[in-house]
Amino acid sequence: MTYEEFGKVGSKGELYPSANLRKLLNLQPNARIKYRISPKGYLIVEPVYSIEDLLKMPPIAEVTVEEIESLSEKMQEQGSSDDS
């Protein structure tokens, strides 16, 4: 998803995301966020979610125990063949 909008910088340097943006990112008052500067000089603002927040979110992917075991076995086989 790509989303753009303009915001303002307050007199003390505060960044003010719109209510719509806060809603999209589920940013609550006192939420933790991380600031990064990209190699091109862009400011990147990312929410930092707690474990509790992450557990409430819908799953990104579904996988069975059998699928995990199969992938683990394949990775172990690849690792042992790389060692030889």
Output 53 or 42, whichever has higher pLDDT: 42
What total of structural domains would you count in the chain? Answer: 1
Q: Which domain holds residue 74?
A: 8-83
Alpha helices in the chain (DSSP H): 19-24, 51-56, 65-83
In a domain, 53, yes or no: yes
Question: Are 84 and 77 within 8 A, CB to CB?
Answer: no
3 state SS of 60: coil
In a domain, 55, yes or no: yes
In a domain, 46, yes or no: yes
pLDDT of residue 84: 58
In a domain, 70, yes or no: yes
Question: Are 36 and 46 within 8 A, CB to CB?
Answer: yes
In a domain, 2, yes or no: no
> Per-residue pLDDT for 24 more than 90?
no
> Per-residue pLDDT for 13 more than 80?
yes
In a domain, 3, yes or no: no
In a domain, 1, yes or no: no
Question: Are 31 and 47 within 8 A, CB to CB?
Answer: yes
In a domain, 18, yes or no: yes
pLDDT of residue 69: 95
Q: Is the pTM of this model over 0.85?
A: no
> 32: which 2 tokens?
């933790």
